[in-house]
């Protein structure tokens, strides 16, 4: 399998989709957003899928959808919960370099305002802090490269990612 893809993982609000598009333009790659693939497959927004089917069913839909992703020379932006899917992560690791876009919790909380309509996989009553604490070890586990994105303008973060990748 060709491993010429760059896969972005991290918490909601860390900039995976926004930085993914900029990286794709800068590195002359295609852009794939797995959240959009799921929405197209299911015919509705993520938050509606989660509300209607529940957290566990959504996680299985995400795991299966991302496990089927096949692409070359692409930047792949993933949903924040993709790290719960073993098949999804196995596939992503086989496709390329996994980059964890790391952001401190206080900055995520500042950026993520629309928590209910954002499509964040959370148990009822769960806070963004508890989601962060649950996911951070998984992001670390799967990351080939970690890029700290705190307080940097988008262009500087793109440069940091490119430098970290050795591109």
Domain ranges of the chain: 5-159
Whether residue 2 has pLDDT greater than 60: no
Per-residue confidence at 109, pLDDT binned at 50, 70, 90? confident
pLDDT of residue 1: 47
Q: Quick one: fold of 5-159?
A: Rossmann fold (3.40.50)
109 or 19: which leads in pLDDT: 19
SS3 call for 90: helix
pLDDT of residue 117: 59
pLDDT, tens digit (0-9, with 9 covering 90-100), for 141-161 = 999 999 998 877 888 999 999
Give bridge partners of residue 31 from the DSSP assignment: 75
pLDDT of residue 96: 96
Instruction: Please answer whether residues 66 and 36 qualify as being in contact, where contact means their C-beta atoms are separated by less than 8 angstroms.
Output: no
């Amino acid at each position: 399998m060709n491993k010429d893809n760059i896969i972005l993982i991290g918490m909601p609000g860390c900039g995976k989709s926004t930085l993914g598009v900029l990286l794709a333009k800068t590195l002359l790659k295609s852009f794939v957003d797995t959240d959009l693939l799921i929405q197209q497959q299911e015919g509705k927004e993520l938050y509606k899928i989660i509300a209607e089917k529940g957290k566990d069913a959504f996680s299985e839909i995400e795991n299966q959808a991302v496990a089927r992703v096949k692409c070359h020379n692409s930047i792949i932006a993933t949903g924040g919960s993709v790290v719960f899917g073993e098949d999804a992560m196995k596939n992503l690791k086989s496709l390329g370099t996994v980059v964890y876009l790391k952001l401190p919790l206080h900055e995520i909380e500042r950026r993520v305002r629309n928590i209910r309509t954002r499509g964040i996989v959370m148990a009822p009553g769960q806070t963004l802090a508890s989601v962060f604490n649950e996911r951070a070890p998984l992001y670390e586990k799967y990351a080939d490269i970690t890029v700290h994105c705190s307080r940097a303008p988008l262009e500087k973060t793109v440069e940091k990612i490119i430098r970290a990748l050795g591109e």
